[in-house]
Amino acid sequence: MKDLFTLDGRTALVTGGSRGIGRMIAAGFLAQGARVYISSRKADACENTARELSALGTCIPLPADVSTVEGARRLAAAYMAKEESLDILVNNAGAAWGESFDTFPEKGWNKVVDLNLKSPFFLTQALHEPLRKAAQARPAKVINIASIDGVSINPAETYSYAASKAGLIHLIKRLSLRLVKDNIVVSGIAPGAFASDMNRAARDHGDEVAERIPAGRIGTVEDMAGVAIYLASRAGDYVVGETIVVDGGVSLVRG
């Protein structure tokens, strides 16, 4: 039992790992002994974060734009040039777009759906072989970061974001049934209010946002790292196709 949550000797790749939820997860994995690769579109941010997180363990930057299939494949190739196997893939890179129904543009749809829904599928596909190699010893993990906006209705007009996250939650279920045959366990996390550049309300007005949360606070680094470590470790080996809501109770009451 003392080793139930350890990640010693494991390798992980976290997309969108330079900030926000991705950084929280990367920090948690490092603290539990994993060697962590982080990716983000902006090379400077990716390298700076990797340098800072290296105080916790081995953190390696792999800058990449995974919003296209070609970009996802380039990231997979860059990772495989350094490692033969991959124990944990976290598909976290994401985007949002808010605009009224009457003017909501196609570019706001394509940008968000491509990154939030298409990218996790094709990056997982591109990294299937190193995941399978890792799974020969023990289950490999694919953890997809969804959102409570894919579970319950946010009154904000973020049409493509909500649709992409709901679609991702269903994709997690379908993909899990295929990949569990290869001893690759697919699961998801649906965060609520965590301080990040994407959720600026929680970042800049945390106390005000907390008033609408049953738990009375926004999420912390430990809240996000804890559930990610659970799913990535031996403790989560039997959690197949499920998405864990981590929101302090918001999705139970809103709408």
Using alpha carbons only, give the angle 209, 193, 142 rounded to the nearest 5 degrees.
180
User: If DSSP states are collapsed to H, E and C, what string results for 43-103?
Assistant: HHHHHHHHHHHCCCCCEEECCCCCCCHHHHHHHHHHHHCCCCCCCEEEECCCCCCCCCCCC
Side chain identity, residue 212: R
Predicted confidence at residue 1, as pLDDT, reads: 87
Q: Is 47 exposed, middle or buried (0-12, 13-18, 19+ CB in 10 A)?
A: middle
Does residue 241 belong to any structural domain of this protein? Answer: yes
pLDDT of residue 87: 98
Q: Which tokens is 136 given?
A: 């020969």
Q: Which residues are catalytic?
A: 161
Which regions of 79-203 does DSSP assign to beta strands (E)?
Answer: 88-91, 140-145, 184-191
Amino acid at 51: R
| 202 in a structural domain | no
Q: Could you read off the pLDDT of 35-71 as tens digits, one per residue?
A: 999 999 999 999 999 999 999 999 999 999 999 999 9
The confidence score (pLDDT) of residue 202 equals 62
Cα(232)–Cα(185) distance, integer angstroms: 9
Tokens matching residue 38: 């982080």
Q: What is the pLDDT of residue 199?
A: 66
Q: What CATH number is given to the structural domain containing 44?
A: 3.40.50.720
Angle value at C-alpha 22, between 16 and 24, nearest 5 degrees: 155
Q: Extract the residue ranges of the chain whose pLDDT is less than 50.
A: none
Give a yes or no: residue 121 inside a domain. yes
Number of domains comprising the chain: 1
27, 52 Cβ separation under 8 angstroms: no
167: enclosing H helix or E strand: helix 159-179
- pLDDT (0 to 100) of residue 250: 94
For residue 74, is it within any domain? Answer: yes
Whether residue 213 is contained in a domain is answered as no
Strand partners, 219: 194
Q: Is residue 244 part of a domain?
A: yes
Is the residue at 238 inside a domain?
A: yes
**By residue range, what is the domain housing residue 122?**
11-190+220-248
Residue 159 lies in a domain: yes
